[in-house]
Amino acid sequence: MVRVMIPSFNIARIPNIIFGIGKLNDLFNLIPKFGKNILIITGGKSLKSSGEWDKIAENLDKLLITYSQVSISGEPSPSMVDKYATKFRGKNIDLIVGIGGGSVIDAGKAISAMIPKRYSIKEYLEGVGTKTYDGEKISYIAIPTASGTGSEATKNAVISKIGPEGFKKSLRHDNLVPDFAIIDPELMISCPQSVTAACGMDAFTQLLEAYVSPKGNPMTDALALSGIKYMKDNIIPACSNGASDVKVRAAMAYGSLMSGITLANAGLGVIHGFASPIGGFFNIPHGVICGTLLAEATKMNIEMLKKKGPSGKLGLKKHADIGALFYDGEPVKKDNILKYCDILIITLQKWTDQLNIDRLGKYGINISDVDKIVAKTGLKNNPVELSKEDIKSILINRI
């Protein structure tokens, strides 16, 4: 019987969502509603090599749309965003369309926000600048080609400066939720195995962290579990014999979309706490950082929740809810919570192996970097307090 108090919660903007096979075509119905002069941001090569770009260009020509196209590679940096914001400022851009992985979607978001501004994006980044971004932006349509960050549904753009003084920080505002998110699973078929694996683990991390977050609410809980249900049976096939099965890609894309909606409204935990300093100091794909730490951090959280006694019960129950989905058996009850927590940990460990998620050592991180990383790792909305020693131990186990 559900007679607990629903906590106060806010749900901010959710993009207009257009989901389904072939839905990229809806873009051409949408564009004319925004105007005649658009900027398209894409990734490096895959869109062009897959032939999708030619199709897009042809359709834009038919509509007599004036467009500029910019290819970016790697995660967006302040200088990249500033360069394009400056280039297109005053050019009367009516709409920006970002088609690509998480980096491309974030770059588009940041550029759409910075074109109307006068200063460098650094001035507006959380924990970096001193100015408050007011939400003024150019309309933005996000079209992901990888199932990972869920950025098509979030209100932040992650901007990275890599190096000893590096950072990975967000430009954040409710208005940065894209106006439309078009999720077409066909666009993900050509996403390579290693990217699919890392992005998939990132999305799953986001769903898990949002679900166990104390900031969660019934609505984010329902959406997170729904995303997990679709993702759990498809993450391994998406990286192996199901890579070209559009059903598998659709399930992954749906999970990723749910992860964006839920993280934006329920927050994340320690794994994403690590992602910020590690990604700032080292050139490691965000998905690899999350994926490699997922099982280890979940194990630590569950251990610490067990130690807390009665006050840890809700957190354990929530981890068990996810574990129970892998077992498809009886509902979570008092006497099977720990069993389902174990199932969750074991499954995540198995995925890490099966998906060949790299250890951090492969990217040049070694034991002498640990203190520097741990010092800058925040807990965010982790379901349980962790000491610096606990955080250190998670990290060391994945070097």
Under the rule (CB under 8 A), what is the footprint of a copy of itself? Answer: 1-14, 16-21, 23, 174, 217-219, 221-223, 225-226, 229-230, 232-234, 246-248, 250-251, 254, 258, 328-331
Q: How far is the CB of 233 from a copy of itself (least distance, A)?
A: 4
Comparison of 71 and 217: residue with beta carbon closer to a copy of itself:
217
Q: How far is the CB of 303 from a copy of itself (least distance, A)?
A: 29
Q: How far is the CB of 259 from a copy of itself (least distance, A)?
A: 13
Distances (CA, A) of 68 to 84, 113, 188, 244, 325: 11, 17, 24, 31, 46
Q: How far is the CB of 227 from a copy of itself (least distance, A)?
A: 8
Comparison of 8 and 130: residue with beta carbon closer to a copy of itself:
8
Comparison of 219 and 338: residue with beta carbon closer to a copy of itself:
219
Reference 38, options 67, 6, 80, 75; nearest CA is 67
Q: How far is the CB of 6 from a copy of itself (least distance, A)?
A: 5
Comparison of 218 and 364: residue with beta carbon closer to a copy of itself:
218
Comparison of 14 and 399: residue with beta carbon closer to a copy of itself:
14
Q: How far is the CB of 62 from a copy of itself (least distance, A)?
A: 23
Comparison of 156 and 292: residue with beta carbon closer to a copy of itself:
156
**What backbone torsions phi and psi does residue 233 show, to the nearest 5 degrees?**
-95, 0
CA–CA separation, 41 and 18 (whole Å): 19
Comparison of 16 and 86: residue with beta carbon closer to a copy of itself:
16
> How many C-beta neighbours within 10 Å does residue 167 have?
21
Please tell me whether residue 279 adopts helix, strand or coil conformation: helix
Comparison of 168 and 232: residue with beta carbon closer to a copy of itself:
232
Comparison of 183 and 365: residue with beta carbon closer to a copy of itself:
183
DSSP label at residue 178: -
Please tell me whether residue 113 adopts helix, strand or coil conformation: helix
Q: How far is the CB of 189 from a copy of itself (least distance, A)?
A: 14
Residue-by-residue DSSP string for 309-330: GGGGHHHHHHHHHHHHHHHT-S
Q: What token pair was written down for 328?
A: 């498809």
- Rounded to the nearest 10 degrees, how much is the dihedral formed by the CA atoms of 154, 118, 166, 360? 30
CA–CA separation, 183 and 252 (whole Å): 11
Q: Return the bridge partners of 76, or none.
A: none
Contact between 121 and 82 under an 8 Å Cβ cutoff? The reply is: yes
Reference 379, options 368, 369, 370, 390; nearest CA is 390
List all residues 6 or more positions away from 353 whose beta carbon is below 8 Å from its beta carbon. Answer: none
Reference 269, options 375, 381, 150; nearest CA is 381
Q: How far is the CB of 229 from a copy of itself (least distance, A)?
A: 6
Please tell me whether residue 273 adopts helix, strand or coil conformation: helix
Q: Side-chain half-sphere of 91: how many Cα atoms within 13 Å?
A: 19
Q: What token pair was written down for 358?
A: 């790299």
Q: How far is the CB of 174 from a copy of itself (least distance, A)?
A: 8
Contact between 37 and 66 under an 8 Å Cβ cutoff? The reply is: yes
Comparison of 3 and 118: residue with beta carbon closer to a copy of itself:
3
Q: How far is the CB of 248 from a copy of itself (least distance, A)?
A: 7
Q: Return the bridge partners of 40, or none.
A: 69, 97
